[in-house]
Amino acid sequence: QLLQEYISSGIEYLYFSLALSLLGILEIFVSIHLYRLKRIIVNLQTMLGQPPNKFWKSLGYPVNWYFSICWYFVTPALCLANISRTRGVLAYVTTLGPFVITIVFMIFQIFGSLRKGENIRLLFKPDFRWGPELSNDRERALFDERAGRVI
């Protein structure tokens, strides 16, 4: 009984605590630093529409300074603090296992794309069918997206 609880808590810690921290850091890095926060704000405005009332508009709907601070500083700091508490090689090997599998499959896709003579960037582009259903909304979203890249 005690051994089962020990193993269960160890698996829970290794698979959920560390993996979620690593995924959190990776997600923040990719979305905020590579995709850019301004583009995320444009996408959120496209999905959520106009503020429902003046109260939400005064708060900076959909994203205000509080969320920007959380995305740039608070979340990465908390994720790094959680990772730095971990000790032992086994903990890191167990945590990084699923990530290695994902990276290996990604490398296979890249080499397959290169073998076919395709551009690697095509692997990272979303399907054109993604987005708003109505054509007017789609055109506005594309315009806002391009404007967000320039800003």
- Measured in whole angstroms, how far is the alpha carbon of residue 41 from the centre of its chain? 14
For the chain, the first-to-last Cα distance in angstroms comes to 59
Report pLDDT for 116.
Answer: 92
Per-domain boundaries in the chain: 2-150
What is the gyration radius of the CA atoms in the chain, in angstroms? Answer: 21
Q: How does pLDDT run across 63-108, given as a tens digit for each residue?
A: 778 888 888 888 888 888 877 666 667 667 777 777 788 889 989 9
Give the pLDDT of residue 86: 62
CA distance 3 to 38: 50
Measured distance CA(125)–CA(108) in Å, rounded: 17
CB-facing half-sphere around the CA of 102: CA atoms within 13 A: 7
Sign of CA dihedral 120, 123, 125, 129: positive
